[in-house]
Each structure stands twice: as C-alpha cells, then as structure tokens.
Structure 1
C-alpha cells in the first residue's frame, strides 16, 4: 500500500526539468512509482562519471528529452507537447565551486534558464502548478547560525548563491506579472544540503568520502567546521510533492516561498557528519588537516527554519539523520560492489522510505482523529 501523497499523483501529467540530475532522478523514480505520466527535460548525464539516471535505467517508463534550458524554443515545444498539469523546475548549475570557474554560465543557466521555463509555462494552458526549486543559499547569510525563515532577505556571496537569489526574485516577478492572472500557482522551494545514494557530483561531501572509501583511499574535507542543514534526498522531495499538491488544490494560497530543512539538531558540522559516516562504514577515512588549503568563500553556518512547511503543508522528515546516513552508506557500498544492481537498490530505498512515510501519515491521521 502506498501513501496518500504518492497516490495523489497517479495518472497526473508532470514535467520535471533537471530529471537526469541527482534530485531529479529520485523525483522521477517517485513519480514513476506513483503512476504519473512524466516528461523530463535536462542535459544528458556527464559521460565521465556514474549517473543515477543512466545507471538505474530511469528513462524507462517516462518521456525523456535531452536539452538545455537556455534553449528557449526547445523547452517551450517540449512543455507544450507534454501538456503537463504540474511542473517541477530543478534544472540548474548546482555546484558552488563550479560557479567560481563558470560564473556567467551559472547565471545564464540558473536565471535565464528559469525565465525560459516560466515563459514555456505561460504558453502551455494545461499547467496549473509550478514548483521552482532554488536553494537555501539564496539567502543573505550572516553566518550567525540564526535559522533563516522565508522572510530573510535574498543575497549570496558567491555566483551560485547569488544566482539562486536572483532566481527567487525572477520567479516572484513572473508569478505577479503573468502567471497569477492565468490561474497558474507558482511557488519556490528552498532546501538544505541534500544527500543520498547515487550522487556522484564533484566537490560534494558524500560522493567524495564514500567514493574514496570504495576505492580504499583517504579523503580530505573542505571547511570541516562548516555547519549545514543535512537532509536525506527524499525529505525535500516529499516537500516538493506536498507543495505541488497544495498549489493544485488551493491555488494562490500556497504560491510563495517555502523552506524545507531538517530539525535544528541535524544542522551539524562537516567533521561530525564524516565521523558518523565512519561509524556506518569504517572504510571511510579522513585525513586530519590543521591548515586546509585556501578555497573560495563558503558560509561557516547555514540553518533553515522550516516551521511554515511543517505547520501549513504537514511536511515532516521521515528518517532520523542517523537512519538517513545508514541508508545512504548502504546504497553507496552496495552500488560500488555491484554496479548492475543500482536499479534494485533505488527501488528498495524508495519503497522503504514510502513504507515509513505511510506509517507516519497514518499515525498523524489517527492522532488528529482521537478525542
């Protein structure tokens, strides 16, 4: 038995941009499990590294279009042909360090690419709800550790973060100027540092540590004292799905910005996450460094306040951080041991999460109905 949220998507037409990426792949897997009619639009996975979308065969059962959101004509024709009811916009240049090397490409992809997607939505009468996924880094972060709610100002020290702040402003402008009057409800979603099986992007903590463990190598980490809101990949995706459902059912009431972040106690320094990964997989080894090499600026502390999503959408994490770390470590270990079984690993991990989600949903409903 699936949970009510997953059941709600059965038979619905959905467009996912960025479907070949890490979060996009997990979202496609969830929607495919739900029985949704999915069209994906994204760049092809990078050929020189593993990719969850390719390795798990996620192109089966969906319509996958390989393209660049900077190509306004192609995204428009794709959206019109798919005639989706719901659009999840995840396509982006999502790496902070790459944004220092490729700042202009980061802005053209994240900002103008989003404009192209929203223009495609304007020309597609079937669309009722749009979720634009940005980042917790869209905020002007003073590094104080004070949890940032949705009213915090936009900002960004580096090109990636600033591009996400700009994307938030752009989405608000399109909602107010164009989409609201067409009856299209648009919201933005800001999540924390997401981890989970199948992420092989460069310069990310989990792929670096767990990939090195699989090769029998020692890792070093950037900014071991940096505090981040760590989340299992399916937790914010649950939030995106809840948000799109609310947009479809209630319209403009939910058309605003939303944070999806973990409990405050799960905002931990990098060194603590590395230590917990070592407990799950002793092959994980991290070299102690007293003077790490200089690297571009990254905020020392970043914590989100997700009270609004918990109270208004009923969103809440399903796994504890320890459970999520164990599930992630197991996925990496098994995928490195048996690369041909990644589709099974993905299916089993998703099924386990949905079982826990259904149990949680039932318990909440029972609690609310009790006198």
Structure 2
C-alpha cells in the first residue's frame, strides 16, 4: 500500500508514518514544516515540503507519489489561533483539505483518512455525559467548524465521486514528539515546564481557581494504530471517536504529571481561554470494540515525560 501522510513531520503524523513503514507499506510525507520537524520524519519515508494552501504544490506531490491512500493529519490545530484568525484557519483546514480532495479525484486515490476533532466538535457536554459517534456536532470555535466542514466535504466526495473515507475524531492527544510551542497540547507544555522547574498555569473552566476544563486525554500510540487500520480500510464504521472516556481536569493533569515526573513545581491559576469548551469527553465504546482498552493516562504520561527528559541535554 502506498500511503501519503500529510503533516507527517509533526506529532501525530510522524507516529502514523512510523507504524505504516514498520507494517511494510510505502510511505511519503507532505508537510510545510511550519510546526513539524525533518527529524520526526522516519527513515524510509520521502519528505515533500509543500503547503496545503498551494494547490499546484499539492497536485505535484500527488502526481509524483501516486498514493493509494491519503492520511490527512496536517492542520491548523490551535483553537485559540482559530478564534483570533478564523480566515487563516479556514485557508488551511478547509481550502487545504479541498486541494487534497481534488488531487485525490484527479489521480484516482481510493481512500482518504481524515483527522477530525472529538475534543471540540461536540461542544460543551453536560456533567456525566460522554459524546458518542451519534451525537450531533455543536462546534464552538472556528477550528471545530472547519473540521466539520472537512467531514461534510468527504461525504459529498463519496456521493459524487466514489471516494472511500474514514473520519477519526480525536480527544486530546498527547505523547512523545508533541511540540509545546507549535501545536496544541497542554501535556507537552506541562512536561517541558515541569522538567525545567517552571510553574504550571491552570486556565480556569469558568474562573481562575476552579480546576480548569475537563478533558479526555488519549495517547498518540492508540491514535496511530487506529489511523493505520483506517488507512487499510479495516474499520467497521466510517466515523470513530478516539478517546478514553476518562475525565481529567487541568488541575488533576498537573498533579498527575508532577507525580509521574518527580518534579514538584509551583502551580498558578489563570483566566479561561477564548474558544475553549468547558467539558469535552468521548464515549470510547466503539473504539474499545475494535482495539481493546486505550493506554492508561499514568502509563502514557510516564512515556511522554521520559521522552521529554531525554531531550533536556540537547538544550544545555
């Protein structure tokens, strides 16, 4: 199988590329390196430096590699950036996706895997509820809206042009290689700051000091496995939530991470952030039926902290 991974020099995409190569598939990466790194691209995967907003550049990559599957991870992934700059968000997440879809149509790509958001697309959830795949989307940020637009275009492209696809709605993904400066991810931010002995900031859910928003944290290895299965057409449904169903407040995350890392640092309360939903939690029943139990949070945090700790000498 020839698999093109967009965003393959970034956090999630590089793990997918690794896994696909180890499974014996031919892999190419399309990335503009705005937040990803050449060092993340696994050996054996060809890197094409191109921006999704450049239609001709996207077409050239597709013409050169001729993939069987496009696994689309590249995105403007920050909720706060989308609130500040909704046009920038749409240029990447809507027009960029359309450029890929048009190239898929031109070059006869058979399958498209789309990284969507479960953490933002369902909106605020009432206490005690988890969002399953049948829950109606209620996007609260331009980022969530752009991802829903991508899902809708995929349904249209299947109806009009026969393109097979899978949509994976991620909870809050964390793990090794996450960029605390270029990609969304409080776990990466907390890891870097805790290991450096710097204070952690807990942005409130409704007000400073209330413990912060409730999130569902899912380990990147679990996400990569689901993506490979989706790329091979092995999922039982077109839409799948990728999460754990375990609620964790930002304050609880900080406590668990400092315990796992062995670094005690000051924790400061901060105001809520624009665009953040208060409570985001996925129903993992469909995921568990296909993949078993997801990685426990403390286990995933330990692996993530270990990766960040190994990088400390590089900064000295």
TM-score (norm 2): 0.89
Q: Which residue is 1:3 aligned to?
A: none
Post-superposition offset of 1:241? 1.3
Corresponding position of 1:205: 186
Structure (1/2) with the larger helix percentage: 1
SS in 1 for 2:233: helix
What is the CA-CA distance between 1:34 and the residue it aligns to? 2.6
Measure how far apart 1:210 and its partner are. 1.4
RMSD over equivalenced CA pairs, Å:
2.2
Structure with more strand by fraction: 2
After superposition, what is the alpha-carbon deviation per residue over 1:254-288, rounded to whole angstroms, capped at 9, x for unaligned? 4x2211111x3x22111111111111113252424
> Which of 120, 140, 160 is the aligned partner of 2:143?
160
How big is the shift at 1:318? 4.8
Instruction: Give the conservation status (yes or no) of the 8 Å contact 1:229–1:268.
Output: yes
Partner of 2:295: 319
Q: Tell me the residue number matched to 2:7.
A: 18
Deviations along 1:81-106, one digit per CA (max 9) or x if unpaired, are 21212210111000111112221010
Distance in 1 (CA, whole Å) between partners of 2:180 and 2:86 is 18
**3-state secondary structure, aligned to 2:203:** coil
What's the offset of the Cα at 1:142? 3.6
Distance in 2 separating the partners of 1:141 and 1:32: 36
Q: What SS does structure 2 have at the residue aligned with 1:123?
A: helix
1:54 matched to 2:35: no
SS of 1:74's partner is: helix
Corresponding residue of 2:305:
329
Distance 2:16 2:145 in 1: 25
| Residues 1:284 and 1:22: Cα distance change in structure 2 (over 3 Å) | farther
The residue number in structure 2 matching 1:38 is: 27
Unpaired segments ≥5 residues, structure 2: 205-210
Contact 2:120 2:140 (C-alpha < 8 Å) held by counterparts: no
Conserved in 1, the CA contact under 8 Å of 2:28 and 2:46?
A: yes
Alignment match, 2:171:
192
**1:272 paired to 2:252:** yes
Q: 1:104 aligns with which of 77, 82, 87?
A: 87
2:223 aligns to what? 236
Q: How does 1:1-371 map to 2 (within 5 A)?
A: 12-46=1-35, 53-56=37-40, 58=41, 60-125=43-108, 127-137=109-119, 139-145=121-127, 146-178=129-161, 180=162, 184-202=163-181, 204-223=185-204, 224-246=211-233, 254=237, 256-262=238-244, 264=245, 266-289=246-269, 292-311=270-289, 314-338=290-314
Instruction: Compute the TM-score of the two structures, normalised by the length of structure 1.
Output: 0.77
User: Could you tell me how far 1:336 is from its partner in structure 2?
Assistant: 1.6
Q: Is the partner of 2:232 in helix, strand or coil?
A: helix
User: Matches of 1:151 and 1:158 in 2, distance apart?
Assistant: 20
> Are the aligned partners of 1:21 and 1:45 in contact in 2 as well (CA < 8 Å)?
no
Deviation at 1:16, TM superposition (A): 0.5
